[in-house]
Amino acid sequence: MTGKVFFSVSMSLDGFIAPGSLGELMGRQWMELQRWIFPQRFFRENLKLGEGGEEGRDNDIVRETFERTGASVMGRRMFDAGEQMWPEEAPFHTPVFVVTHEKRDPWERPGGTVFHFVNDGIETALDQARQAAGDRDVRIAGGGATILEYVNAGLVDEFSIALSPVLFGSGIRLFEGVDAGRVALTQVRAEPTQRATHLTYAVRER
């Protein structure tokens, strides 16, 4: 039995998942977008940000998302940004397949994360991730361009959005260019907390 293919992102109320330039990545807007997740105990432990932290529903959602993920797929720009920011023990602890035109040998990190660089398209990357994930799910980790490719190809089963109380005005818009004639959604869950509204949708073809 194979698992689901899903993505899970934080999104501003006006639909953006990142500021426009990587230079702004750790700036004010990014911190406001991610304000719900930084205090969570599981997130802090996984990213080696320090002991302690909150333990409510937000924390459970972070942990559940991690635990269901048997392998991840990400785009090159997300990888490039993360390469500078993740601790040596990268926070995935599973194989990660990076879709890219760059040829590069696998990069193994302590703690079980191995980055594989896939040069022949999103379907090959997903096939490899499914194999690696076994019964668990495959997470399309980001960023926007890569998520959109998978959505438009009809390869995403489900997604979750943590809707953050922040407005960006501009940046990387999650669904810019979506094939709206092809993609239909069913709402699975909506869970408000004090920090964010967690929305989950199932995806089906129209």
Ligand X SMILES: NC(=O)c1ccc[n+]([C@@H]2O[C@H](COP(=O)([O-])OP(=O)(O)OC[C@H]3O[C@@H](n4cnc5c(N)ncnc54)[C@H](OP(=O)(O)O)[C@@H]3O)[C@@H](O)[C@H]2O)c1
Binding site for ligand X (CB under 6 A): 9-10, 17-18, 22, 25, 33, 74-78, 81, 99-102, 121-122, 141-146, 149, 172
d(CA 98, CA 174): 19
The dihedral through the CA atoms of 7, 8, 11, 14 has a sign that is positive
The nearer residue to ligand X, 54 or 139, going by C-beta atoms, is 139
Instruction: State in angstroms the smallest separation of the CB of 1 from ligand X.
Output: 27
The nearer residue to ligand X, 67 or 204, going by C-beta atoms, is 67
φ, ψ for residue 179, nearest 5 deg: -85, 80
Residue whose C-beta lies closest to ligand X: 143
The nearer residue to ligand X, 74 or 96, going by C-beta atoms, is 74
The two tokens of residue 15 are 């639909």
Instruction: State in angstroms the smallest separation of the CB of 194 from ligand X.
Output: 19
The nearer residue to ligand X, 84 or 187, going by C-beta atoms, is 84
Contact 152, 160 (CB under 8 A): no
Strands (DSSP E) contained in the chain are 5-12, 16-18, 69-75, 95-99, 107-108, 114-118, 137-142, 158-164, 172-173, 183-192, 197-205
